[in-house]
Structure 1
Amino acid sequence: MIQLKRAYAPAEPDDGYRILVDRLWPRGMSKAKEHLDLWMKQIAPSTDLRKAWNHNPNTILEFAESYRRELDANPAVEQLEQILADHPVVTFVYGARDPLVNHARILRDYVEERQKVQ
C-alpha cells in the first residue's frame, strides 16, 4: 500500500516506510525530526521539468505526461519497486502545498499501474 503525506504533517506509526520523493528538502523542516527512512531525490521530476511546471494546476496533465516519460527512463523506479515489495506500507512524503496537484500523486499512480501489469 502506498500512502501520500505532506512533509509538514507529523509522522505516525501507520506511515510504514517513509520516503521523501522530492528533489529539494522541504523548507523549514529539520532532517532530524522528519523520521524518514529514505530520501529518494532521483525519483523526483527533473529540475527543468519541475521549474517549467511550477505547480500550476492548469498544466498538471501536461506535467504528468512529461513526468511519466521521465519515469519510464529512470532506473530508480526499479529500486522503488523493490522497496515497495519489501514493505507492506510505504508513505511518499512530499513538500507541495496542494494534496491533489503534486508529483507524489503522479508517482504513486505510475507505480501502482506498473504493479498491476506485472
Structure 2
Amino acid sequence: MSVRVRRIYEPPEPDDGLRVLVDRLWPRGLAKDAAHVDEWPKGLTPSAELRKWYHAGEGSYEEFRRRYEAELDAPEAAGLLDGLRRSAREGRVTLLTASKTPGESHARVLAELLSG
C-alpha cells in the first residue's frame, strides 16, 4: 500500500495519485480548483467535539488517537476507511490536511491505519 500525508497548501505533484481531503472544513484561502481534490469523505474526519477538544490542548496525541480510532469504528466511517484501503491497494493515496502539524494529526492516524 502506498499512503502518504501532505499539507493541502503544497502544490499537487504528479505522483500524488488519489488526492483525498481528510479535514471536515474546507481549508481557508484555498480555491477548490487549485486544490485538485479527488475525494472529500467528511465521514472519516474527527467529530467536531473531538477536534475542538484536541485543538484546545486538553489531551495528548495518544488520547486523541484512541478516541479518534473509536470514532472510526462507526459504520459510516468504517465503510469509508475500507474504500480508501481498496484505493491504496490499487495505487498511491495522498491524504491532504490543512493541519500545521500533520505528524500529530488525524491524517497520520488514517495513514497508519491504511498502511497497516
TM-score bucket (shorter structure): 0.7 to 0.9
In the alignment, what sits opposite 2:44?
43
Q: 2:106 aligns with which of 81, 86, 103?
A: 103
Q: Structure 1: which amino acid aligns with 2:36? A: H
In the alignment, what sits opposite 2:96?
93
In the alignment, what sits opposite 2:54?
53
- Measured against aligned partners, the alpha-carbon deviations of 1:23-59 in whole angstroms (never above 9, x if no partner) come to 0111111111100101111100000000011074961
CA-atom RMSD in angstroms: 1.8
Secondary structure class of the residue paired with 2:83: helix
Identity of aligned residues (%): 39
Secondary structure class of the residue paired with 2:95: strand
Unaligned runs of 5+ in 1: 114-118
- Alignment: residue pair count: 113
Unaligned runs of 5+ in 2: none
- Measured against aligned partners, the alpha-carbon deviations of 1:54-111 in whole angstroms (never above 9, x if no partner) come to 0749611110000000001242332332243244111000010013111100111123
- Aligned counterparts of 1:105 and 1:70: Cα–Cα separation in 2: 15
- Aligned counterparts of 1:108 and 1:36: Cα–Cα separation in 2: 17
Large movers: runs of 4+ above 4 Å: none
- Aligned counterparts of 1:96 and 1:56: Cα–Cα separation in 2: 14
- Aligned counterparts of 2:113 and 2:84: Cα–Cα separation in 1: 15
Bigger RCO of structures 1 and 2 (CA < 8 A, at least 6 apart): 2
Superposed, which structure 2 residues align to 1:25-36 within 5 Å? 25-36=26-37
